[in-house]
Amino acid sequence: MEIPAIEVSGLEKVFRKRAGWLRGWRVASEEWALRGVSFRVRRGETYGLLGPNGSGKSTLIRVLSTLLLADGGSVRVLGHALPAEERAVRRAIGRVSVDAAFYKKLSARENLLYAAQLYGLAPAPAEKRAREILDQLGLETKKFDEPLEEMSRGQQQKIAITRAILVEPPLLLLDEPTTGLDPRSKRDVQEFLEAFRAERGTTIFLTTHDMAEAERLCPRIGFLTGGRLVAEGTAAELKAQAGHAATLDDAFIALSGARLESDD
């Protein structure tokens, strides 16, 4: 049996705030971000996790990418258990977040070649590959040597995607990668991801609140709300579960009792 790219069972994560005083009693507040989440992602597939802001999507991505420790349950990424084998996981993943961090005084070229050096890639082939990726993503060649701080959010996001896949990781973790992009840039990114997965067989785990994006890119989709995975299946299966809903948006509302909201 093939080992799943991602295997999550009973995952829990709670954030605890510092204790304070209320009516003479010392109390601490807890906020559950994830409650008993379980799912599997097959190797080579694109799996989409749909949910409104605050549903736990970004927390889940951070657990998978070793940036947060779970408070319960088990997580295996490419056969490696977390947190015990986090170093092996970090070497095997690429991650893009909606608020990607850069050295913004440096150029796109400098940021990308620095990242490539960390993974042991030689500068010349790394630069050639980076330029090829950015060309496919629709970024103008002249932008390659401009400081990141002078680029738009959409252009910076294309740099972030390039950085994540420059080392051709077997697993891509994409946390709302097209949020804030204009329609053309969003289409460029979606087309690139489709072609990249088909060509390389890369597994993609994608969080989004864009129904059309999930339906286009993801053969299987999970609905996350209130930290719980409330439904999972193909877009057609989810619509059927919701009483043959007309749209994926209608299916999400019917199955989760929540509406998707965007910060775009």
Q: Is residue 110 part of a domain?
A: yes
Mean pLDDT, rounded, for 150-163: 89
**22-50 pLDDT, tens digit each:** 555 665 678 889 999 999 999 999 999 99
Among 3, 70, 88, 74, smallest CA distance to 41 is for: 3
Q: Is residue 1 part of a domain?
A: no
For residue 235, the domain's CATH number is: 3.40.50.300
Q: Is residue 264 part of a domain?
A: no
Q: Is residue 156 part of a domain?
A: yes
Residue 139's pLDDT band (cuts 50, 70, 90):
confident
Q: Is residue 177 part of a domain?
A: yes
Q: Show the tokens assigned to 192.
A: 């690139």
In terms of residue numbers, what domain contains 116? Answer: 6-256
Residue 142's pLDDT band (cuts 50, 70, 90):
confident
**50-80 pLDDT, tens digit each:** 988 889 999 999 999 999 999 999 999 999 9
Q: Is residue 261 part of a domain?
A: no
Is 44 within 8 Å of 201 (Cβ atoms)?
yes
Among 101, 11, 100, 16, smallest CA distance to 64 is for: 11
Is 93 within 8 Å of 65 (Cβ atoms)?
yes
Q: Is residue 263 part of a domain?
A: no
Q: Show the tokens assigned to 3.
A: 């080992």
Q: Is residue 154 part of a domain?
A: yes
Distance CA 61, CA 96 (A): 10
Total length of the chain: 264
Q: How many domains is the chain partitioned into structurally?
A: 1
Q: Show the tokens assigned to 157.
A: 């996001």
Model confidence, pTM:
0.89
**175-231 pLDDT, tens digit each:** 998 887 888 888 989 999 999 999 999 999 999 888 999 999 999 999 999 999 999
Cis peptide before 83 (omega within 30 of 0): yes
